[in-house]
Amino acid sequence: MPGDPGNDESPMRQRLLSVALVALVIGGVVGSLGLLAFAQTPVRGTLSGTVTADKGQVVGFRVAAHNLDRRIWYTVFTNKGRYTIPQALPGRYEVMVNEPDFESSTVAVQLGPGDSRTANMTLKQKGGQASLAADEMLPANRRGNTAKKIVYVDSMEEIFPSEPGQELVKALCTGCHRDGGTWRNAQTYDEFLKGIERMTETGPAGFPNVLALGRTPLSARDKALIANYLTKHFGPGMPDKRLRIDPLVVDEDVASKAIYVGYDIPEDLPLEPTQGRRVGAPMIDGEFPQLPGLALHHLQAAALAPDGGVWFSSRVSNSVIRLDPKQQNPATRWKDYPIKGDRWVAVSGMAADSKGKIYWSELKGGMLGELDPATGKQIRYVIPQQGVDVGITVDKDDNVGFALIWGALFGRLDAKTRTIHTYPTPTPDNGIYGLAFDQSGNLWGAGWQKGTISKWDAETHLVKEYPVPNSWGQIRRMGVDSKGMVWGSEYNVGMMVRLDPQTGKLTEFKIPVSGAIPYEAWPDKADNVWSADEVHSALLKLEPASGRFTFYPMPQPHQSVPKMEVEANNTMWFGS
């Protein structure tokens, strides 16, 4: 067994995942699984069995089958205690259940071409507090905060009462800090004031040479008002107020129709020994202190190339990597392209143009990257202004769009001249995060810090902003559907929002489970809109016509899915 499936550091946390959401099931056999349509596909087989537990109910439990020969995972979900993995490639398997509150037996199975094999699993419920509460999985709650009395509430307004200082906090702070998770260490007035100065004047603010609110004018009175407000509601003796998170009830009939196919990353993918220089530290004798490297890989964003390759940004190896999903041999399935020139650029977003060139954004490198896979040549374009580049996308004419959070601008690399142009946002420090081009070449951006949907106009080259007043900041990702409707995720308040560019009308869709944190907002080929909710361990599908949400449990508990890509056949790809 490759590690405890409930352990965050097991190989199951390091795998790469794509998901095929299958709508048609006939007699228990998937009608189509084109995701693994290898050039010379061997005859497949079927794995099935039962899952039982010594305590509790088995409802929609995730069953993971690892093909040891091909280094591929299948993850499916139980229905009435049974599961089926159809069209599984032959080979040696280890089959297990991956549920955080249960210990699973592991069953070894040899599956031959055309075989049907049974693997029954028995679970034992873990004693004590086996897993963290769902809200403890949020990043802000995993930072060693001082223990306080926890009080669960239903709205941001209960955490941030309406009184002097609230409007400033809402406008400037909650976009990044959400419900105040990073303020839970019982800070004093002076400590809050020092934090405000760090964001606006002194730094460091997370990344080199960038101030999160360095362009936003704030008077001494404003800073004092914010510090007083935060001390009153988050200071010593105050309870730890958190947004309530209700458990997700898994619909077994839905979950059991989903098949996730995962690919082990290359065993020799390197781990960089450093994350680059320590932000804000002075140079001593010509050297900057370095941050230690990370121990686990995480593939951040996906891009679909015209040749069928799937590309991912691999931050910990400081590279971009290509997956050939049709390649049976795991030794030749991947190709790694280390980024040249810097040991740590914190590669983030990914995009591919119509000619197969690959582009990436850099959180720390200050450049926009380009790779020609045919020659291996890399070009890293210098962005004229300092900031943090997260989003990147390509339009129908192969112009490359990007934007800066903690830099507050849109940018475009011209497809013909190969020149970068930048365009500031009207609101300072708006923090543009996710991006999407529309059919007319306009570039839409998610206002991560100050809660706007923003548009760079391809004709006027001006930026127009559409405030989303209920968002409390942090519009996380953007998407544009086939009708030109613009979609965003309201991460802080558990809603999806649609903007009609013709009328400016905003329509919000509340996710029907408390505490959801939707990250993505990506339309599929049928104009359903997809997102991912780490805290409920689910992918979400919104059908706009009916307002109906469908939940698909993720293959790993509390898995972060920052960015999705959708193939023409509606197969969805994401990294892990």
Instruction: Walk along the chain (576 residues) and give the pLDDT tens digit of each residue.
Output: 222 223 333 444 344 444 443 322 222 222 233 344 454 568 999 999 999 999 989 999 999 999 999 999 999 999 999 999 999 999 999 999 999 999 999 999 999 999 999 999 999 999 754 444 555 555 555 444 555 788 999 999 999 999 999 999 999 999 989 988 778 776 899 999 999 999 999 887 777 778 889 999 999 999 999 999 999 999 988 988 999 999 999 999 999 998 999 899 988 899 988 888 888 888 999 998 988 988 888 888 999 999 999 999 999 999 999 999 999 899 999 999 999 998 889 999 999 999 999 999 999 888 999 999 999 999 999 999 888 899 999 999 999 999 998 888 999 999 999 999 999 999 999 999 999 999 999 999 999 999 999 999 999 999 999 999 999 999 999 999 999 999 999 999 999 999 999 999 999 999 999 999 999 999 999 999 999 999 999 999 999 999 999 999 998 888 888 898 988 888 889 987
For residue 424, what are the CA distances in angstroms to 245, 419, 526? Answer: 37, 17, 34
Q: What pLDDT does 343 receive?
A: 85
Whole-number Cα distances in Å, 15 to 74, 83, 215, 276, 556: 11, 22, 40, 25, 10
Q: Is the Cβ–Cβ distance between 174 and 156 less than 8 Å?
A: yes
Phi, psi of 229 (to 5 degrees): -60, -45
Closest by CA to 178, choosing from 242, 83, 99, is: 242
Task: Give the Cα separation of 384 and 387 in Å (integer).
Answer: 10
How big is the CA angle at 153 (ends 149 and 155), to the nearest 5 degrees?
140
Q: Choose among 158, 156, 121, 151: nearest CA to 135.
A: 151
The Cβ of residue 435 has, within 10 Å, a number of other Cβ atoms equal to: 25
Q: How far apart (Å, rounded) are the C-alpha atoms in residues 500 and 316? A: 39
DSSP 34: G
In the structure encoding, which two tokens stand for residue 527, read together? 């104009």
Question: How, if at all, do strands 150-153 and 240-243 pair?
Answer: parallel
pLDDT of residue 133: 53
Distances (CA, A) of 562 to 14, 280, 385: 15, 27, 25
**DSSP assignment letter at 223:** H
Q: What's the CA gap between 149 and 349, in Å, rounded? A: 39
Output phi, psi for 280, to 5 deg: 85, -10
Q: What is the pLDDT of residue 12?
A: 40
Q: What is the pLDDT of residue 66?
A: 95
d(CA 22, CA 254): 10
H-run or E-run covering 114: none
DSSP 518: B
Residues 6 or more apart whose CB falls under 8 angstroms from that of 500 comprise 485, 486, 507
The model carries a pTM of 0.91
- Give the separation between CA 475 and CA 492, rounded to whole angstroms: 8
286: CB partners within 8 A, 6+ apart: none
In the numeric block, which tokens belong to residue 459?
């004709």
Q: Name every residue whose Cβ is closer than 8 Å to that of residue 52 and which is 6 or more positions away in sequence.
A: 58, 81, 120, 121, 122, 123
Backbone angles phi, psi at 259, to 5 degrees: -125, 125
Give residue 180's pLDDT.
83
State residue 134's pLDDT score.
Answer: 55
